Amino acid sequence: MARTLRDLPADLAGKRALVRVDYNVPLDAGQVADATRIEASLPTLRWLLRRDARPVLLSHLGRPAGRPNPALSLKPVASALADLLGSEVLFSAPCDGKDALRASRELRSGQVLLLENTRFLPGETANDEALAGRLARLGDFFVNDAFGTLHRAHASTTGVPARLNPAAAGLLVEREVEALGALDRPRRPFVVAFGGAKIADKIELMRRFVERADLILVGGAMANTFLRAQGIETGASLVEEAALDLARSILSAGEERIRLPTDVIVVDRSSGAGESVADVRVDAIEPGMAALDIGPESRGRYAEALRGCAAFFWNGPMGLFEDPRFAAGTLAIAEAAAEVTATGGFTVIGGGDSAAAIRRAGLLDHVSHVCTGGGAALEYLSSGRLPGLDVLVERRRP
Ligand code: ADP
Ligand code: MG
Protein backbone atom coordinates (compact mmCIF):
# COMPACT_ATOMS: atom_id res chain seq x y z
CA MET A 1 0.00 0.00 0.00
CA ALA A 2 1.13 3.50 -0.76
CA ARG A 3 2.31 5.70 2.05
CA THR A 4 -0.26 8.02 3.59
CA LEU A 5 -0.06 11.31 5.48
CA ARG A 6 0.31 9.39 8.74
CA ASP A 7 3.58 7.89 7.47
CA LEU A 8 5.14 11.37 7.11
CA PRO A 9 7.58 12.66 9.75
CA ALA A 10 5.81 14.02 12.83
CA ASP A 11 7.31 17.50 12.59
CA LEU A 12 6.29 19.21 9.36
CA ALA A 13 6.37 22.79 10.69
CA GLY A 14 7.80 25.20 8.13
CA LYS A 15 8.28 22.42 5.58
CA ARG A 16 7.01 22.96 2.03
CA ALA A 17 4.41 20.34 1.09
CA LEU A 18 4.32 20.01 -2.70
CA VAL A 19 0.77 18.76 -3.26
CA ARG A 20 -0.59 17.48 -6.57
CA VAL A 21 -4.28 18.31 -6.49
CA ASP A 22 -7.00 17.82 -9.11
CA TYR A 23 -8.32 21.30 -9.84
CA ASN A 24 -9.44 20.35 -13.32
CA VAL A 25 -12.68 22.23 -12.69
CA PRO A 26 -15.23 23.60 -15.15
CA LEU A 27 -14.86 27.36 -15.71
CA ASP A 28 -17.56 29.70 -16.89
CA ALA A 29 -16.68 33.26 -17.90
CA GLY A 30 -13.49 33.11 -15.84
CA GLN A 31 -15.24 31.78 -12.71
CA VAL A 32 -15.22 28.33 -11.16
CA ALA A 33 -18.56 26.80 -12.21
CA ASP A 34 -18.38 23.72 -9.97
CA ALA A 35 -16.12 23.63 -6.91
CA THR A 36 -16.60 19.94 -6.04
CA ARG A 37 -12.98 19.08 -6.81
CA ILE A 38 -11.66 22.04 -4.82
CA GLU A 39 -13.81 21.01 -1.85
CA ALA A 40 -12.48 17.46 -2.13
CA SER A 41 -8.93 18.74 -1.56
CA LEU A 42 -9.71 20.68 1.62
CA PRO A 43 -9.25 17.88 4.20
CA THR A 44 -5.65 17.28 3.08
CA LEU A 45 -4.85 21.01 2.94
CA ARG A 46 -6.31 21.53 6.43
CA TRP A 47 -4.36 18.55 7.72
CA LEU A 48 -1.13 20.09 6.41
CA LEU A 49 -1.93 23.63 7.62
CA ARG A 50 -2.74 22.34 11.12
CA ARG A 51 0.82 20.99 11.24
CA ASP A 52 2.13 24.34 9.99
CA ALA A 53 3.38 22.86 6.72
CA ARG A 54 3.44 25.23 3.70
CA PRO A 55 1.25 23.81 0.89
CA VAL A 56 2.49 24.41 -2.68
CA LEU A 57 -0.16 23.18 -5.10
CA LEU A 58 0.28 21.72 -8.58
CA SER A 59 -2.62 20.92 -10.90
CA HIS A 60 -3.59 20.76 -14.53
CA LEU A 61 -6.72 22.27 -16.02
CA GLY A 62 -8.12 21.18 -19.37
CA ARG A 63 -5.95 20.26 -22.33
CA PRO A 64 -3.80 23.29 -23.25
CA ALA A 65 -1.43 20.97 -25.19
CA GLY A 66 1.81 22.27 -23.72
CA ARG A 67 1.20 25.97 -24.40
CA PRO A 68 0.03 28.77 -22.09
CA ASN A 69 -3.66 29.46 -22.68
CA PRO A 70 -5.25 32.28 -20.64
CA ALA A 71 -8.68 30.60 -20.86
CA LEU A 72 -7.25 27.62 -18.94
CA SER A 73 -5.38 29.54 -16.25
CA LEU A 74 -5.74 28.30 -12.66
CA LYS A 75 -5.85 31.91 -11.44
CA PRO A 76 -9.66 31.87 -10.83
CA VAL A 77 -9.19 28.73 -8.75
CA ALA A 78 -6.91 30.62 -6.35
CA SER A 79 -9.68 32.93 -5.19
CA ALA A 80 -12.27 30.12 -5.06
CA LEU A 81 -9.86 28.10 -2.92
CA ALA A 82 -9.14 31.06 -0.65
CA ASP A 83 -12.89 31.45 0.02
CA LEU A 84 -13.46 27.77 0.71
CA LEU A 85 -10.34 27.27 2.80
CA GLY A 86 -10.45 30.59 4.62
CA SER A 87 -6.72 31.04 4.04
CA GLU A 88 -4.60 33.35 1.94
CA VAL A 89 -3.84 31.71 -1.43
CA LEU A 90 -0.98 33.14 -3.47
CA PHE A 91 -0.62 32.43 -7.17
CA SER A 92 2.50 32.07 -9.29
CA ALA A 93 3.02 31.55 -13.03
CA PRO A 94 4.60 29.60 -14.62
CA CYS A 95 4.56 26.54 -12.35
CA ASP A 96 8.32 26.03 -12.63
CA GLY A 97 11.28 28.40 -12.56
CA LYS A 98 12.81 31.07 -10.33
CA ASP A 99 9.62 32.91 -9.37
CA ALA A 100 7.83 29.74 -8.32
CA LEU A 101 10.86 28.65 -6.30
CA ARG A 102 11.13 32.02 -4.56
CA ALA A 103 7.39 32.10 -3.84
CA SER A 104 7.56 28.61 -2.32
CA ARG A 105 10.43 29.65 -0.04
CA GLU A 106 8.74 32.87 1.05
CA LEU A 107 5.47 31.17 2.07
CA ARG A 108 4.49 32.12 5.59
CA SER A 109 2.56 30.18 8.19
CA GLY A 110 -1.08 29.64 7.08
CA GLN A 111 -0.49 30.67 3.47
CA VAL A 112 -0.98 28.44 0.44
CA LEU A 113 0.71 28.80 -2.94
CA LEU A 114 -1.13 27.69 -6.09
CA LEU A 115 1.01 27.32 -9.19
CA GLU A 116 -0.12 27.83 -12.78
CA ASN A 117 -1.50 24.97 -14.92
CA THR A 118 1.17 22.27 -15.26
CA ARG A 119 -0.02 21.43 -18.77
CA PHE A 120 1.06 24.87 -20.03
CA LEU A 121 4.45 23.14 -20.27
CA PRO A 122 5.03 20.40 -22.87
CA GLY A 123 7.14 18.42 -20.38
CA GLU A 124 4.18 17.67 -18.14
CA THR A 125 2.40 15.01 -20.19
CA ALA A 126 5.73 13.83 -21.64
CA ASN A 127 6.91 13.20 -18.06
CA ASP A 128 10.06 15.16 -18.90
CA GLU A 129 12.87 14.51 -16.43
CA ALA A 130 14.17 18.08 -16.38
CA LEU A 131 10.70 19.46 -15.64
CA ALA A 132 10.10 16.86 -12.92
CA GLY A 133 13.42 17.90 -11.40
CA ARG A 134 12.51 21.59 -11.42
CA LEU A 135 9.09 20.89 -9.89
CA ALA A 136 10.58 18.62 -7.22
CA ARG A 137 12.63 21.58 -5.93
CA LEU A 138 9.42 23.37 -4.99
CA GLY A 139 8.75 21.14 -2.00
CA ASP A 140 10.43 19.42 0.93
CA PHE A 141 8.07 16.48 0.62
CA PHE A 142 5.34 15.38 -1.81
CA VAL A 143 1.67 14.56 -1.43
CA ASN A 144 -0.54 13.30 -4.22
CA ASP A 145 -4.22 13.99 -3.63
CA ALA A 146 -5.24 14.12 -7.30
CA PHE A 147 -7.10 10.84 -7.53
CA GLY A 148 -8.45 11.67 -10.99
CA THR A 149 -4.95 11.79 -12.52
CA LEU A 150 -3.33 8.79 -10.82
CA HIS A 151 -3.71 6.75 -14.02
CA ARG A 152 -1.44 9.19 -15.88
CA ALA A 153 2.36 8.96 -15.75
CA HIS A 154 3.06 12.68 -16.02
CA ALA A 155 5.84 14.87 -14.59
CA SER A 156 3.65 16.12 -11.72
CA THR A 157 2.17 12.70 -10.90
CA THR A 158 5.01 10.19 -11.26
CA GLY A 159 8.12 12.25 -12.18
CA VAL A 160 8.12 14.40 -9.04
CA PRO A 161 7.56 11.65 -6.43
CA ALA A 162 10.32 9.61 -8.07
CA ARG A 163 12.65 12.48 -7.06
CA LEU A 164 11.11 13.93 -3.92
CA ASN A 165 11.14 11.90 -0.74
CA PRO A 166 9.05 11.29 1.31
CA ALA A 167 6.01 11.04 -0.95
CA ALA A 168 2.57 10.08 0.31
CA ALA A 169 -1.05 9.78 -0.75
CA GLY A 170 -3.39 12.51 0.48
CA LEU A 171 -6.63 11.91 2.36
CA LEU A 172 -8.81 11.97 -0.76
CA VAL A 173 -6.65 9.43 -2.58
CA GLU A 174 -6.60 7.27 0.55
CA ARG A 175 -10.39 7.33 0.78
CA GLU A 176 -10.86 6.55 -2.91
CA VAL A 177 -8.41 3.65 -2.86
CA GLU A 178 -10.04 2.23 0.26
CA ALA A 179 -13.53 2.38 -1.23
CA LEU A 180 -12.48 0.80 -4.52
CA GLY A 181 -10.28 -1.74 -2.74
CA ALA A 182 -13.29 -2.88 -0.70
CA LEU A 183 -14.87 -4.05 -3.95
CA ASP A 184 -12.07 -6.59 -4.35
CA ARG A 185 -13.59 -8.67 -1.57
CA PRO A 186 -17.15 -7.39 -1.53
CA ARG A 187 -19.88 -8.36 0.86
CA ARG A 188 -22.53 -10.44 -0.87
CA PRO A 189 -24.79 -10.32 -2.66
CA PHE A 190 -22.65 -8.01 -4.77
CA VAL A 191 -24.48 -6.32 -7.65
CA VAL A 192 -22.97 -4.09 -10.34
CA ALA A 193 -24.71 -1.89 -12.89
CA PHE A 194 -23.07 -0.79 -16.12
CA GLY A 195 -24.32 1.81 -18.54
CA GLY A 196 -23.11 4.90 -20.32
CA ALA A 197 -21.63 5.30 -23.72
CA LYS A 198 -17.87 4.72 -23.47
CA ILE A 199 -18.12 1.00 -23.93
CA ALA A 200 -14.65 0.25 -25.29
CA ASP A 201 -13.17 1.77 -22.11
CA LYS A 202 -15.34 -0.35 -19.87
CA ILE A 203 -15.69 -3.74 -21.42
CA GLU A 204 -12.45 -4.99 -19.85
CA LEU A 205 -13.68 -3.89 -16.45
CA MET A 206 -16.97 -5.57 -17.11
CA ARG A 207 -15.19 -8.79 -17.92
CA ARG A 208 -13.52 -8.65 -14.50
CA PHE A 209 -16.77 -7.94 -12.72
CA VAL A 210 -18.60 -10.73 -14.51
CA GLU A 211 -16.32 -13.11 -12.61
CA ARG A 212 -16.74 -11.33 -9.30
CA ALA A 213 -20.32 -10.06 -9.08
CA ASP A 214 -23.47 -12.01 -8.28
CA LEU A 215 -25.56 -9.97 -10.69
CA ILE A 216 -24.73 -7.55 -13.52
CA LEU A 217 -27.38 -5.05 -14.61
CA VAL A 218 -26.78 -3.46 -18.01
CA GLY A 219 -28.35 -0.27 -19.33
CA GLY A 220 -27.51 2.78 -21.41
CA ALA A 221 -25.87 2.51 -24.79
CA MET A 222 -23.90 -0.39 -23.32
CA ALA A 223 -27.12 -2.42 -23.31
CA ASN A 224 -27.71 -1.66 -27.00
CA THR A 225 -24.38 -3.25 -27.84
CA PHE A 226 -25.27 -6.38 -25.85
CA LEU A 227 -28.72 -6.58 -27.44
CA ARG A 228 -27.21 -6.27 -30.89
CA ALA A 229 -24.61 -8.91 -29.99
CA GLN A 230 -27.55 -11.26 -29.38
CA GLY A 231 -28.89 -10.54 -32.83
CA ILE A 232 -31.63 -8.14 -31.74
CA GLU A 233 -32.52 -5.26 -34.08
CA THR A 234 -31.40 -2.01 -32.39
CA GLY A 235 -32.41 0.41 -35.15
CA ALA A 236 -30.78 3.84 -34.90
CA SER A 237 -29.54 3.25 -31.33
CA LEU A 238 -25.96 4.00 -30.37
CA VAL A 239 -24.12 0.67 -30.70
CA GLU A 240 -20.39 0.01 -30.59
CA GLU A 241 -19.93 -2.27 -33.56
CA ALA A 242 -16.28 -2.93 -32.75
CA ALA A 243 -17.22 -4.31 -29.34
CA LEU A 244 -19.79 -6.90 -30.48
CA ASP A 245 -17.41 -9.85 -30.22
CA LEU A 246 -16.30 -8.79 -26.77
CA ALA A 247 -19.91 -8.42 -25.71
CA ARG A 248 -20.60 -11.97 -26.94
CA SER A 249 -17.64 -13.34 -25.00
CA ILE A 250 -18.83 -11.58 -21.84
CA LEU A 251 -22.31 -12.98 -22.34
CA SER A 252 -20.99 -16.49 -22.75
CA ALA A 253 -18.86 -16.12 -19.62
CA GLY A 254 -21.75 -15.10 -17.38
CA GLU A 255 -25.03 -15.07 -19.21
CA GLU A 256 -27.00 -16.37 -16.22
CA ARG A 257 -25.85 -13.42 -14.09
CA ILE A 258 -26.21 -10.67 -16.72
CA ARG A 259 -29.49 -8.77 -16.97
CA LEU A 260 -30.35 -6.79 -20.10
CA PRO A 261 -33.34 -4.49 -20.53
CA THR A 262 -36.58 -6.11 -21.67
CA ASP A 263 -38.10 -2.76 -22.67
CA VAL A 264 -36.59 0.56 -23.70
CA ILE A 265 -37.65 4.16 -24.21
CA VAL A 266 -37.13 4.99 -27.86
CA VAL A 267 -37.28 8.12 -29.90
CA ASP A 268 -38.72 7.54 -33.33
CA ARG A 269 -37.65 10.02 -35.98
CA SER A 270 -38.89 8.00 -38.94
CA SER A 271 -42.34 9.53 -39.22
CA GLY A 272 -42.57 12.83 -41.04
CA ALA A 273 -44.40 14.34 -38.07
CA GLY A 274 -41.19 14.90 -36.10
CA GLU A 275 -40.05 13.00 -33.00
CA SER A 276 -42.17 10.66 -30.95
CA VAL A 277 -41.13 8.96 -27.72
CA ALA A 278 -42.41 5.50 -26.78
CA ASP A 279 -41.80 2.54 -24.49
CA VAL A 280 -41.24 -0.58 -26.60
CA ARG A 281 -40.16 -4.16 -25.94
CA VAL A 282 -36.59 -4.78 -27.05
CA ASP A 283 -37.75 -7.17 -29.79
CA ALA A 284 -39.93 -4.43 -31.28
CA ILE A 285 -37.25 -1.82 -31.97
CA GLU A 286 -37.67 -0.64 -35.57
CA PRO A 287 -34.97 0.69 -37.91
CA GLY A 288 -35.96 4.35 -37.33
CA MET A 289 -35.94 4.06 -33.52
CA ALA A 290 -33.12 4.87 -31.12
CA ALA A 291 -33.17 3.40 -27.59
CA LEU A 292 -32.27 6.19 -25.17
CA ASP A 293 -33.29 4.77 -21.77
CA ILE A 294 -34.37 1.55 -20.12
CA GLY A 295 -38.14 1.17 -19.95
CA PRO A 296 -40.43 1.01 -16.88
CA GLU A 297 -40.46 -2.79 -16.68
CA SER A 298 -36.65 -2.92 -16.77
CA ARG A 299 -36.44 -0.11 -14.19
CA GLY A 300 -38.64 -2.14 -11.88
CA ARG A 301 -36.66 -5.34 -12.43
CA TYR A 302 -33.34 -3.58 -11.77
CA ALA A 303 -34.59 -1.79 -8.65
CA GLU A 304 -35.95 -5.11 -7.38
CA ALA A 305 -32.61 -6.83 -8.08
CA LEU A 306 -30.84 -4.20 -5.99
CA ARG A 307 -33.12 -4.57 -2.99
CA GLY A 308 -31.24 -6.25 -0.18
CA CYS A 309 -27.85 -6.41 -1.86
CA ALA A 310 -24.85 -5.90 0.45
CA ALA A 311 -22.53 -4.16 -2.01
CA PHE A 312 -23.25 -2.23 -5.19
CA PHE A 313 -20.98 -0.70 -7.79
CA TRP A 314 -22.44 1.50 -10.50
CA ASN A 315 -20.73 2.90 -13.56
CA GLY A 316 -22.53 4.63 -16.39
CA PRO A 317 -26.01 6.17 -16.67
CA MET A 318 -28.91 3.95 -17.80
CA GLY A 319 -29.85 6.40 -20.54
CA LEU A 320 -29.38 9.83 -22.02
CA PHE A 321 -30.23 11.28 -18.60
CA GLU A 322 -29.26 14.86 -19.56
CA ASP A 323 -32.65 14.94 -21.33
CA PRO A 324 -35.45 14.59 -18.72
CA ARG A 325 -37.43 12.39 -21.12
CA PHE A 326 -34.70 9.75 -20.84
CA ALA A 327 -33.65 10.19 -17.20
CA ALA A 328 -36.08 7.86 -15.41
CA GLY A 329 -33.92 4.74 -15.69
CA THR A 330 -30.87 6.49 -14.26
CA LEU A 331 -32.96 8.07 -11.51
CA ALA A 332 -34.42 4.68 -10.57
CA ILE A 333 -30.93 3.23 -10.12
CA ALA A 334 -29.81 6.30 -8.13
CA GLU A 335 -32.80 5.90 -5.80
CA ALA A 336 -32.24 2.16 -5.46
CA ALA A 337 -28.58 2.85 -4.58
CA ALA A 338 -29.66 5.28 -1.86
CA GLU A 339 -32.05 2.64 -0.54
CA VAL A 340 -29.26 0.02 -0.43
CA THR A 341 -27.08 2.49 1.49
CA ALA A 342 -29.88 3.33 3.91
CA THR A 343 -30.30 -0.35 4.74
CA GLY A 344 -26.61 -0.83 5.54
CA GLY A 345 -25.23 -1.77 2.11
CA PHE A 346 -21.98 -0.43 0.68
CA THR A 347 -22.44 1.60 -2.51
CA VAL A 348 -19.79 3.03 -4.84
CA ILE A 349 -20.47 5.24 -7.86
CA GLY A 350 -17.71 5.56 -10.48
CA GLY A 351 -17.64 7.67 -13.64
CA GLY A 352 -17.99 11.39 -14.20
CA ASP A 353 -21.44 11.26 -15.77
CA SER A 354 -22.74 8.77 -13.20
CA ALA A 355 -21.55 11.13 -10.47
CA ALA A 356 -23.28 14.03 -12.22
CA ALA A 357 -26.47 11.96 -12.39
CA ILE A 358 -26.44 11.14 -8.69
CA ARG A 359 -25.78 14.78 -7.89
CA ARG A 360 -28.68 15.83 -10.11
CA ALA A 361 -30.90 13.34 -8.27
CA GLY A 362 -29.90 15.08 -5.02
CA LEU A 363 -28.54 11.78 -3.64
CA LEU A 364 -24.82 12.55 -3.49
CA ASP A 365 -24.79 12.19 0.29
CA HIS A 366 -26.93 9.06 0.24
CA VAL A 367 -24.37 6.65 -1.20
CA SER A 368 -21.20 5.34 0.46
CA HIS A 369 -18.70 6.73 -2.02
CA VAL A 370 -18.66 8.74 -5.24
CA CYS A 371 -15.35 8.54 -7.12
CA THR A 372 -13.85 11.88 -8.14
CA GLY A 373 -12.04 10.35 -11.12
CA GLY A 374 -13.74 8.06 -13.59
CA GLY A 375 -10.73 7.01 -15.65
CA ALA A 376 -8.57 6.38 -12.60
CA ALA A 377 -11.33 4.40 -10.87
CA LEU A 378 -11.86 2.19 -13.91
CA GLU A 379 -8.15 1.55 -14.28
CA TYR A 380 -7.70 0.73 -10.59
CA LEU A 381 -10.68 -1.61 -10.59
CA SER A 382 -9.49 -3.38 -13.76
CA SER A 383 -5.83 -3.77 -12.94
CA GLY A 384 -5.49 -3.04 -9.22
CA ARG A 385 -2.74 -0.57 -10.07
CA LEU A 386 -2.25 3.12 -10.80
CA PRO A 387 1.11 4.63 -11.89
CA GLY A 388 0.67 7.64 -9.61
CA LEU A 389 -0.02 5.38 -6.64
CA ASP A 390 2.74 2.87 -7.28
CA VAL A 391 5.42 5.57 -6.87
CA LEU A 392 4.16 6.53 -3.40
CA VAL A 393 5.93 3.64 -1.75
CA GLU A 394 8.80 3.75 0.65
CA ARG A 395 12.10 4.33 -1.13
CA ARG A 396 15.61 4.53 0.13
CA ARG A 397 17.75 7.39 -1.04
CA PRO A 398 20.27 6.26 -3.68
P1 ADP B 1 -19.48 7.75 -16.99
O2 ADP B 1 -18.92 9.13 -17.19
O3 ADP B 1 -20.39 7.67 -15.80
O4 ADP B 1 -18.40 6.71 -16.97
P5 ADP B 1 -20.01 7.46 -19.82
O6 ADP B 1 -19.11 8.60 -20.08
O7 ADP B 1 -19.59 6.11 -20.28
O8 ADP B 1 -20.41 7.40 -18.25
O9 ADP B 1 -21.42 7.70 -20.52
C10 ADP B 1 -22.26 8.76 -20.17
C11 ADP B 1 -23.03 9.25 -21.35
O12 ADP B 1 -23.71 8.18 -21.96
C13 ADP B 1 -24.06 10.26 -20.98
O14 ADP B 1 -23.77 11.48 -21.61
C15 ADP B 1 -25.36 9.67 -21.49
O16 ADP B 1 -26.21 10.62 -22.09
C17 ADP B 1 -24.89 8.69 -22.53
N18 ADP B 1 -25.86 7.61 -22.78
C19 ADP B 1 -26.31 6.73 -21.89
N20 ADP B 1 -27.20 5.91 -22.45
C21 ADP B 1 -27.31 6.28 -23.75
C22 ADP B 1 -28.06 5.79 -24.87
N23 ADP B 1 -28.90 4.77 -24.75
N24 ADP B 1 -27.89 6.42 -26.04
C25 ADP B 1 -27.04 7.45 -26.17
N26 ADP B 1 -26.30 7.95 -25.15
C27 ADP B 1 -26.44 7.37 -23.97
MG1 MG C 1 -18.24 10.15 -18.97
Atom 10 of ligand 1, residue of closest alpha carbon: 196
What is the Cβ-side half-sphere exposure of residue 370, based on CA atoms within 13 angstroms? 21
Does residue 295's CB lie within 6 angstroms of at least one atom of ligand 1? Answer: no
**Catalytic pick among 248, 352, 359, 360:** 352
Range 5-175+386-390 has CATH code 3.40.50.1260: yes
pLDDT band at 199 (very low <50, low <70, confident <90, very high): confident
CB of 351 within 6 A of ligand 1: the answer is yes
Q: What is the pLDDT of residues 119-169, one digit of tens each?
A: 999 999 999 999 999 999 999 999 999 999 999 999 999 999 999 999 999
* Ligand 1 nearest-atom number relative to CA 378: 4
Among 222, 353, 380, residue to substitute to test ligand 1 (most atoms within 8 Å of Cβ)? 353
Q: Is 196 in the pocket of ligand 1 (CB under 6 A)?
A: yes
How far is the centre of ligand 1, averaged over its atoms, from the C-alpha of 193 (Å)?
13
Domain 182-367 in the same topology as domain 5-175+386-390: yes
Higher pLDDT, 102 or 308: 102
pLDDT-derived band of residue 8, with 50, 70 and 90 as boundaries?
very high
Which of the following is catalytic: 3, 37, 54, 152? Answer: 37
User: Is 322 near ligand 1, meaning CB less than 6 Å away?
Assistant: yes
**Would the CB of 161 count as within 6 Å of ligand 1?**
no
375 catalytic, yes or no?
yes
Q: Active-site residue among 198, 202, 228, 299?
A: 198
- Read off the pLDDT band of 348 (50, 70, 90): very high
- Residue 173: pLDDT over 60: yes
Domain residue extents for the chain: 5-175+386-390, 182-367
pLDDT of residue 395: 62
Could you tell me if 199 and 240 are in contact, meaning their C-beta atoms sit under 8 angstroms apart?
yes
Per-residue pLDDT reduced to its tens digit, 315-333: 999 999 999 999 999 999 9
> Would the CB of 358 count as within 6 Å of ligand 1?
no
Cα separation, 134 vs 104, in Å, equals 13
Is 198 assigned a catalytic role? yes
Q: 182-367, what's its fold?
A: Rossmann fold (3.40.50)
Q: Indicate which atom in ligand 1 lies nearest the CA of residue 350.
A: 3
Ligand 1 centre and the CA of 10: distance in Å? 46
Q: How confident is the model at residue 352 (pLDDT cuts 50, 70, 90)?
A: confident
